[in-house]
Structure 1
Amino acid sequence: MNSRLKGFGWSLFALVLIYGATAHLPAGAQVAGGTISGTVVDSSGRVIPGAQISIMNVDTGVSRSAATNEEGLYTAPNLLPGSYELKFSAPGFKTEVRSGIVLTVGAAAVLDLTMQVGTAIETLQVTGEVPDVQLASSDISAVVNATTVRELPLNGRSWTDLAELQPGVNAIQTQPTFAAGTDRGNRGFGQQLTISGARPQQNNYRLDGVSLNDYANGAPGSVLGGNLGVDAIQEFSVLTSNYSAEYGKTSGGVVNAITRSGTNQFHGSVYEFLRNSALDARNYFDGDKIPPFKRNQFGGAVGGPIIKNHTFFFADYEGIRQSKGISSFTTVPSAAARAGQLCSIPNGDPNNPCTPTQVTVDPSAAAYFTFYHLPNGPLIGNGDIGPFTFAGQQVVNENFLTTRVDHKFSDHDSLFGTYMFDKTPYSAPDGLNNVLFTTLTSRQLVSVEETHMFSPRFANSIRIGGNHEGVNNNESLKAINPDAARTDLGAGGTAFAGRAAAQVFMEGVTPFTGGVGGSPTYFYHWNSIQAYDAFLKVRRNR
């Protein structure tokens, strides 16, 4: 059986107009960043047009300038999540500094200011001024911040697992695990989540503003079921309901992540995690020895300036090398049964010894006994079948890479680009140790966004991206048993000459899944080209 699924998804938000409903709602949130906005007035409540605002990211040291319009409003869209310091100045007023302003992904922080009459050399400094209450949007969401992402222990280091920390988010299993073999992949490989009771395929996963849902519109992930790159994630938010239409595409929840940016200082890290079978317990089917298990998960991250105060880079690599022994328990025909000596229990009484009956074994059927090992344990029931156990090796090698470059053209123009690559080959023997099942998952994502401030009243962000998902399941089967590669075992003899060994199903015996070319092969390939444009107009209601 061959199955092919090719999808080509187009997502296009041609124009999004966001108008503030009140003076406290000057601009909407941004998918790939955050927004700081507000109103500047004097002590009598009159607006101050032309006030200059310097917005500095404390982590990167990069500043962006803004100014209030004739209505005293200012806005700074698409800012990186992090801690900010804002400096306000205007002729005839004291310089005011607000520090400790923490901006999260997708958030719209409102910072209104009342300036005091005085000279510019006089400075008033206040720390932590932004209220926790979200004034600029009505979405119900929670943020997993940078400290949680990088410091909370994660088995497998898949950052999407942290979404389960939020209320209303639960992991569910919609299909067998990746170790199960050929039936894996029809609903995607990622860890499926239900958010506020919605189906997993109703959720939307975004990285730097680009949707990275897979071909089944499910959770993204490699054949191992996770999303590496914990060190590349700055933070992410989980929006459960009532979020803005700019997120689009799905009716369930939204997992909205943003990657880390470089700073004016070089910084980096390296790590390795090792697990092996030395401390593992033996399970019932393992035999005398514990199957060998070795897992190395390693990587490194580095970031810094390319041009100080203007251009920054960040890169993260993570690799997995895993070899895991899997104990397989199967039932196979006994030596007597292969010779045609079958035993049937009279009246179904297991305590009544039976007399073997000699039957003729068809030569074409006898050729298939090569795919069934002799029992290596006590025979079962009437002695026609017995157990065969062995420890096969499940091998996975994953390579994951994320890079990001940020560039500031001017105080009014900035750009960033992100590239993600993930390739994971997997192999494991079938239950009878005849063929080596293989699965290859490959993922790539690109996101480029440019933000331009035309004036204190107008801003525009344009984002173009692409998401590629590919799965080849059992495309390159390999024969462990040389007979599995034979092409003269087609059922029916000469009528099916040249075909691979067929699948075999017998009552009480583990099914033979077919030789090389006889097992199901699946191909899933998905390309999604996405374009978004967000035009922001700042307006104050009278």
Structure 2
Amino acid sequence: MKHEFLPTHKGPFGCLCLWVFAALLCFGGAPSLHGQVLYGSIVGDVVDPTDAAVPDATVTVTHRETGASRSATTSASGSYSFPNLPSGTYDVRITKDGFRSYSRTNVVVSINAITRVDVRLTVGAVAESVLVTAEAATLQTDRAEVRAEISSRTLTYVPVFTGRNYQHLFKMLPGFTQPRNAHSIPSNPSRSLQYEVNGTVSASNNVRLDGATQYNVWLPHITAYVPALESIETVNLVTNSFDAEQGLAGGAAINVQIKSGTNELHGSFFEYHNNNKLKARPFFTPPGERNPKYIFNQFGGTLGGPIVRNKLFYFASYEGSLMREFASGLHTVPTELTRRGIMTESDRLVYDPATGNPDGTGRTPFPNNTIPPSRFEPIALRLVEQTPLPTFPERFTSNYYGAGTFTFDRHTLDTKVNYNATDRFTMYGRYSYLNFEQICARAFRTSLGEHGPWVARQFTNPGKGYGGTHSLTWAGTYVFTPTLIFDANVGVTITIQNATQQDIEKRIGLDVLGIPGTNGTRFFEGGWPRFEISGYTTIGETEGYMPYYRWDPQHNYQANLNWLKGAHDLRFGMEFSFQNLNHTQPEFYGGTQPGAGGFNFVGGVTTLRGGPASNQWNAYGQFLLGLPSSIGKIFQFPDQYNTRTSMYSLYARDRWQITRKVTLSFGSRWEYFPLPVRPDRGLERYNLATNKMHVCGVGVVPRDCGVEVSKALFAPRVGLAIRATETFVVRAGYGITNDPWNIARPMRVNHPVLMSLSISGPDAFRPSSRLRDGIPSVAPPALGNGIIDIPGHVDTNTLTDRFKRGYIQSWNFTLQRKLGPYVAQAGYVATRQNNILGFYELNYGFPGGGLASQPFMQAFGRQASTQIVGPVGNSHYDSLQVTLERPFSAGYQIYVAYTWSKCTSIAGVGNSGDGPAIKIPEYFHLNRALCGIDTPHNLQASTIYELPFGRGKRWATSGAAAAIAGGWQINALFSAYSGNPFSVGASGVSLNAPRNSQRADLVGSGPVKKLGNVGAGMAFYDWTRFASVTEARFGTAGFNILRGPGLVNLDLGILRRFDLTERLKMEFRAEAFNATNTPHFANPSNNISNLRLNPDGTFRSGVFEVTGVRNTGREGIDERMFRFGLRFSF
């Protein structure tokens, strides 16, 4: 398979990029992504005893870890500034004739932050000195953004769940949702977590590692690479009112810094272990079942030090993660009676589609609600044989307990070299690498091999996954003069992700089951077809997107110039970003059927028009008859398809110190997002007026597809910081960010690169075809003059003549006060995400109209999905965010955060790339609802506390008492969330409006009573307040009107530290995650049409049942789990 590393960048922007960075390399170092974002600053004002400015004082800052120093003189107003300082601890020394010299030690500088050191000199000889040690608690005095920092100490000691991903700690911070797992291991081998910030979609976050963007090109709502926890020095997060330098982020701009070597040799070695014996029994484990095998080991070490003292330094980290699991899960299979066509367990009739009228009226039920065996489809019978019987025959749902083996190996390497070439020029380089392999079994094991669902609770992609990630950075800074500083950086990240299912070398659909049109001749068209029966676990291939082979490089370039001019800190810069997709994957965006083909059985074919809604027995009866509601298959014509995306931006910013107490920042970004292209031509575009597909850059079709994108995307930013007193700061900021979503994702494939064949019945009551007839075959079309036909059953995504990119507004008003060793902060934080980018379906049906009512069916006989990629709605977020922080000193630290918020958006739009639940313009207002992530209350608290016993502490300072009681430390993280909203849905059969979601009817008035019951056969809400809809209309229950269970969790760690030598320390750790073993329940089931009653009319099952746990980013492990660890450090 051919992989391209760097695309060819044609046109003026490509030439400019190459010329500029050729010039930067001549400086001897170019590298990573955000100059000042990668560094910190020290600023201050120097005054005399009368509060008058002291000009021309010499200020020297010295980096304690490496000995590097820089000097400058104060301006006429007595101010000084040192931008672009590497993070770390500094000593600040100020001298001026006629005054005593002044020194402040232990001044902490963090990346993307300003540390203020204001000094009042005293009269005396220079030889006399004043020495001050910096305080741990500091105020944010010069920038108006909303920011947070997770320090190395917090990362090291606050309990972080198995896998030890730093993103788990984001939940500590105000405005963040609970981070949660997303996607399979092959698609997300770093196990990056998904989260939203301040009501914005998760795809608008941007994570940079030492400047190199970790944007996941294919899955932008997660991060491409997550470094080992032990390798991280700090994590800086900005969530509102960004500086003009920060682009491509609307929710959070997150900068992760890898540790560096210093003049002192330092390192660590560690191993952490947990297994099934250390876990409590999961809440929903069936009676009699024990905890299955589970073993997770994580081990590794770090080493850093000098190569040449004060000049050249190195750091290296390795982490290995090995998981072995006999995984299990609950699935839904038909009962013994249902398999035989005896549907007497259903409270609804199963109707014979061979009776009555074709539109579903006048049908009669099967006698005794039993389908005669003579009517069974032979292919369906073979599939029945491949479906196991229930392990819990008394249940109709979640009645099969499947288990199998799961293994996962991952190895992570992070390295970094820093070079202080001269007192003017410094640079560093970083390289990170990840390698992984996964083997995942399936739940159904039959004579035809494994098929059906995966066994692991969170890990999907059954079969084998393998690949790796490469990430590297080069960054350099050159100080022309103390007032003119240049920095540049380059970042590269490459993700390689492969997944292939079992039996892909076999053509089971075609050669074994005998279904025409399934499978194919190429390696990615083998294996099982997909058989989806509503209410049951899928038979065959559960993953419509498998197999896949992805190779996605991206590279970024940035250059910045800092100019200190009197009271103005001026900064200018540019950034170029290039992202590539190189995929072999027979999957249409949003499609469900694989390259082997698939069949859906919804249940409408065996119901009566105007009668009760269909349920799982109607769907299984339809399956036994071999009458699918729809059929489909993905045809991928080239062996590999590719896209190329580029983004360009410029910015200018002035940070003006108006007075000693007031700082004003203002600036703007200009950003340009050209239309993505393919290596040899443009994309593809469906012409809405002519029903033709335009292959852009071929024949008479222009390369840009005739689509205009804006070249006037400006993003102004402004911030004001007022130091009212030495202990009280007032800040306010406002900014606009352009939505960074890469439309190469939704436009990755289209006809004729890939054909998403989808054939449905004329309405919900008629089948698309017969199972035995299979799937029609298609041939790749000739491109000709670039304008080609598109079959009416082939899905497409397209663009309008003028693509409108969304934007995010954010603002805050914040008060911060220092209270002794504590810093308290309270702020109003708000965002407005305008024109969220996603899919807007144009070929929707109207209530009662079915297929015939779809606009493109009427115009062109086109029934397939026809979606516009563009704006789909807005979201509003308002919050009060409060924090109380005590940085570590005197043996302990405390951090408390509380968020009170409300978020409203469009139902169905939870992320970029989603679409509204109801597509019909006349009914679009019904979509307005609470966000699915809305969390009114979020309280977090964490602490690190060294017990006051032992040498150097308050009590038991010597002898046996010190040996026994000394060295103990307690670490804890407490979380409490409100539950998230959910909707009550219903069967859409009577609605008969293709591609629209149906809501239930709300019965009665007043609030719906929360019953709070948990478990199968138990209702969490009053089910009598909702009813199925049996007419051709939308239900009356609004979207997201109910709220699921909340969450309370405590993670607790106990540590004992032993001083083996003066430098070598050993720590034994015991940690309990969910220490109180409190279940964190998921939202209940929500389709009222699945309601099943007992003969006496009481509740039995089907809706409002809580049968699972919430996704809290813990790979499905919700029960209490202990972990033991041993860590050496020096």
Q: Contact conserved, 1:304 with 1:312, CA < 8 A, in 2?
A: yes
The 3 A distance-change label for structure 1 pair 137 and 277 is: same
Question: Residue 167 of structure 2 contacts residue 192 of structure 2 at CA under 8 Å; is this kept in 1?
Answer: no
Q: Contact 1:271–1:300 at 8 Å: present in 2 too?
A: yes
In structure 2, the CA distance between the partners of 1:518 and 1:220, relative to structure 1 (3 Å rule), is closer
- CA spacing shift, 1:263–1:361, aligned 2, 3 Å: same
Alignment TM-score, normalising by the size of structure 1: 0.79
Tell me by how many angstroms 1:406 deviates: 0.9
SS in 1 for 2:192: coil
Corresponding position: 1:206 with 2:208: yes
- Shift of residue 150, structure 1, vs aligned partner: 1.3
1:131/1:110 Cα in 2 relative to 1: closer, same or farther (>3 Å)? farther
Aligned partner of residue 30 in structure 1, secondary structure:
helix
2:192 is aligned to 190
Give secondary structure in 2 for the equivalent of 1:137: coil
Match of 1:396 in 2: 408
- The Cα of 1:371 is off from its aligned counterpart by 3.4
1:20 matched residue in structure 2: none
Aligned match for 1:492, one of 515, 520, 523: 515
Residue 40 of structure 1, CA deviation? 4.6
Whether 2:69 is the aligned partner of 1:64: answer yes
Cα 1:129–1:349 change in 2 (3 A) is closer
Match of 2:982 in 1: none
5+ residue gaps, structure 1, are 1-5, 16-27
1:152 paired to 2:158: yes
Would the aligned equivalents of 2:269 and 2:300 in 1 still touch at CA under 8 Å?
yes
For 2:231 and 2:179, how far apart are their aligned partners in 1? 26
Question: Corresponding residue for 2:966?
Answer: none
Q: Please list, as runs of the form range in 1=range in 2, the aligned pairs for 1:300-449 lying within 5 A after superposition.
A: 300-330=301-331, 342-345=341-344, 358-359=373-374, 368=383, 371-373=386-388, 375=389, 377=391, 379=393, 388-433=400-445, 434-435=450-451, 436-440=462-466, 442-449=468-475
In 2, Cα distance between the equivalents of 1:294 and 1:239? Answer: 37
Relative to 1, partners in 2 of residues 1:494 and 1:448: Cα closer, same or farther, differing over 3 Å?
A: closer
What aligned pairs does 1:26-425 form with structure 2 within 5 A after superposition? 30-40=36-46, 45=52, 47-49=54-56, 51-58=57-64, 60-68=65-73, 71=76, 74-90=80-96, 93-116=99-122, 118-128=124-134, 132-156=138-162, 157-171=164-178, 177-178=182-183, 190-215=192-217, 216-220=219-223, 227-280=226-279, 281=281, 284-285=285-286, 288-330=289-331, 342-345=341-344, 358-359=373-374, 368=383, 371-373=386-388, 375=389, 377=391, 379=393, 388-425=400-437
How far 1:219 sits from its partner (Å)?
Answer: 2.7
**Shift in Å, 1:320:** 1.0
The one of 512, 521, 539 aligned to 1:512: 539
> Which residue, 467, 492, 502 being the options, matches 1:478?
502
Supply the distance in 2 between the matched residues of 1:101 and 1:57 (Cα, whole angstroms): 10
Per residue, is there more strand in 1 or in 2? 1
Distance of aligned partners of 1:462 and 1:337 in 2 relative to their CA distance in 1, 3 Å threshold: closer
Please say if residues 149 and 237 of structure 2, whose CA atoms lie closer than 8 Å, have aligned partners that are also in contact: yes
Structure 1 residue 103: Cα displacement: 1.6
Q: CA deviation at 1:521?
A: 2.5
Cα pair distance change 1:337/1:163, threshold 3 Å: closer
Give SS of 1:410's match: coil
Greater CA drift, 98-107 or 430-439? 430-439
Per-residue Cα deviation, 1:76-104 (whole angstroms, up to 9, x for no partner): 33223332111223455533211131222
Q: Deviations over 1:74-131 (max 9, x none)?
A: 4333223332111223455533211131222211223344545544432221222799
Change (3 A) 1:492 1:83: closer
Q: Partners of 2:471 and 2:519 in 1: how far apart?
A: 45
Report the CA distance between 1:477 and its aligned residue: 2.1
Query: Contact conserved, 1:171 with 1:191, CA < 8 A, in 2?
Result: no
Q: Which runs of 5+ in 2 are unaligned?
A: 22-33, 350-366, 452-461, 568-657, 659-1130
The CA deviation at 1:538 is 0.7
Q: Any conservation in 2 of the 1:442–1:469 contact (CA below 8 Å)?
A: yes
The aligned amino acid for 2:221 is: G
Aligned equivalents of 1:467 and 1:164: distance in 2? 26
Q: Distance in 2 between matches of 1:267 and 1:463?
A: 27
Contact between 2:508 and 2:529, CA under 8 Å: does it hold in 1?
A: no
Distance 1:391 1:36, change over 3 A: same
Tell me the CA shift for residue 452 of structure 1.
1.1
1:300–1:316 contact (8 Å) kept in structure 2: yes
Amino acid aligned to 1:313: Y
Q: d(CA) in 1 for partners of 2:429 and 2:53?
A: 41
TM-score by length of 2: 0.40
Q: SS state of the match for residue 538, structure 1?
A: strand
Distance 1:123 1:425, change over 3 A: same
User: What is the deviation of 1:404?
Assistant: 1.3
Secondary structure in structure 2 of the residue aligned to 1:154:
coil
**Alpha-carbon displacement from aligned partner over 1:260-288 (angstroms, at most 9, x marks no partner):** 11111111111111111124326534855
Name the counterpart of 2:621.
Answer: none
CA contact (8 A) 1:64 1:411 kept: yes
- For the pair 1:453 / 2:479, whether they are aligned, the reply is yes
1:490/1:141 Cα in 2 relative to 1: closer, same or farther (>3 Å)? same
**Deviations, residues 137-190 of structure 1 (Å, cap 9, x unaligned):** 2212122222112111101311122222122122255xx7556x99x77xx963
State the SS of the aligned residue for 2:444. Answer: coil
Q: Compare 489-498 and 63-72 and name the one that shifted more.
A: 489-498
CA displacement at 1:413 relative to structure 2: 1.4
Match of 1:464 in 2: 490
C-alpha contact (below 8 Å) 1:145/1:236 kept by paired residues: yes
CA distance in 2, matches of 1:114, 1:284: 67
Q: CA deviation digits over 1:306-353, x for unaligned, max 9?
A: 111111111111121111222244455788998xx6545499699x99
Per the TM alignment, residue 244 of structure 1 is displaced from its structure 2 partner at its CA by 0.6
Distance change >3 Å, CA 360–CA 354, structure 1 → 2: closer
Q: CA deviation at 1:245?
A: 1.4
Partner SS, residue 565 of structure 2: coil
Distance 1:278 1:412, change over 3 A: same
- The amino acid of 1:250's aligned partner reads A
Cα distance in 1 for residues equivalent to 2:520 and 2:238: 58
Indicate how the Cα distance of structure 1 residues 201 and 509 shifts in structure 2: closer, same or farther if over 3 A, else same: closer
Shift in Å, 1:369: 5.7
The number of residues matched between the two structures is 503
Shift, 1:461, TM fit: 1.0
Residue in structure 2 matching 1:529, options 546, 555, 576: 555
8 Å contact from structure 1 (residues 29, 108) kept in 2: no
* Aligned CA distance change for structure 1 residues 346 and 423 (closer, same or farther; 3 Å): closer
AA aligned opposite 1:294 = I
Letter of the 1:81 counterpart: S
Query: 2:317–2:415: 8 Å Cα contact kept in structure 1?
Result: yes
Matched-pair contact (CA < 8 Å) for 1:329–1:431: no
Residues 519 and 128 (structure 1 numbering): CA distance in 2 closer, same or farther, change over 3 Å? Answer: closer
Query: Are 1:29 and 1:137, in contact at CA under 8 Å, matched by a contact in 2?
Result: no
